[in-house]
Copies of this chain bind each other. A is one copy, B any other.
Amino acid sequence: MVSVHLENGTVSVRRRGARPRRPEGFALIRLLAAGVCNTDLELQRGYYGFCGRPGHEFVGELEESDTASLRGRIVVGEINLACARADCEWCARGLGRHCPKRTVLGIVKHPGAFAEYLTLPDRNLHVVPRGVSIEQAVFAEPVAAACEILDQVKIPKGREVAVLGDGKLGLLIAQVLQAHGARVIQFGRHRDKLRIAEAAGVVTECRPKHLPSRAFDYVVDATGSAVGLQSAVSMTRPRGTVIMKSTVHGAVPLNTAPVIVDEITLVGSRCGRMEPALRLLARGTPRVDDMIAARFPLHRAAEAFAHAATSGVLKVLLTATASSR
């Protein structure tokens, strides 16, 4: 089968090898479409010493499973493979995403989704609801990451929220929080990207001369920049909350005095639950169709990675085509 391999920064395509074997409790999934995420680009840059098959945003058709109700269905999947043991504190609390024994699809010790076939435990899978297209469902994972904010922080409806950054995740976060009922103001650098959020009712500011100071009770840093956290803190009112969504390699500088004097809370936020993400997508929120920048068949993954790494490019999809099968 065709699969993508990442090693020492090089994306290569392999055509050898059989379909993966399905362990007990696992499903065999035939890939329909996958998304290239910034994390994939970071893996390519070698930040985590990654070597193997990447890919964690996917939609597939379930070919084999012990769960009869899943067979033949179009599914997306939770990317964290938790141990699910009754004596695991994290799994018992429903927080398998933090299970210390977990592997992670396409990131940590479980072969990723950039292949004609992948495996995941049945319990990780979610059937894509009616009305959500295959391409829209590719966004379930990053939309879940945006929804995670609402699982962690109680944001009252009607409250102003600032979102810093207009990359893929920033656009999803702005739209998810707006759909939640917050009044979102998104600060970015690309007028064409911000228009996507504007269409969902988000107020935007493109390259403002000055960011407002101590102006918001809730600020999301989705800049992906080393200075984003400090900007977010400066924009936060006393006793306010900064949600940290920017993974930046290495240490970032943080002036802690305003955090302490203004008693600001900083909340690290990562993956989220799929259920609310799929519910939102079924409602047509966020508007993900506008975020698709390009589509490449799986065997052109190297081009797809290069395109995704180009400044200003939003979501690049990898698709399983008849020719690549």
Chain A residues within CB distance 8 Å of chain B: 90, 95, 98, 100, 152, 214, 229-230, 238-239, 244-270
Q: Are B255 and A250 in contact (CB under 8 A)?
A: yes
| Separation of A248 and B98 alpha carbons in the complex (Å) | 31
Partner of A260, one of B98, B238, B256, B269: B269
Q: Report how many copies the assembly holds.
A: 2
Q: Which residues of B contact A264 (CB under 8 A)?
A: 268
Contacts of A247 in B (CB 8 A): 256-257, 260-261
Q: Would you list 5 pairs from A and B whose C-beta atoms are within 8 A, ordered by A residue?
A: A229-B254, A245-B260, A248-B256, A248-B257, A251-B256
Expressed in whole angstroms, the Cα–Cα distance for A254 and B229 within the complex equals 10
Nearest B residue to A266, CB-CB: B266
Closest chain-B Cβ to A307's Cβ sits at a distance in Å of 26
| Residue in B239, B250, B267 whose beta carbon sits within 8 Å of that of A98 in the complex | B239
- Tell me which of B98, B239, B251, B253 contacts A262 (CB under 8 A): B98
Asked, given contacts A90-B238, A239-B98, A265-B265, whether A260 binds B255 with beta carbons under 8 Å apart, the answer is: no
A100 / chain B contacts, CB cutoff of 8 Å: 214, 238
What 6 A-B pairs have minimum CB-CB distances, sorted nearest first?
A: A251-B253, A259-B268, A98-B238, A266-B266, A260-B268, A254-B254
Nearest chain B residue, comparing its CB with the CB of A214: B100
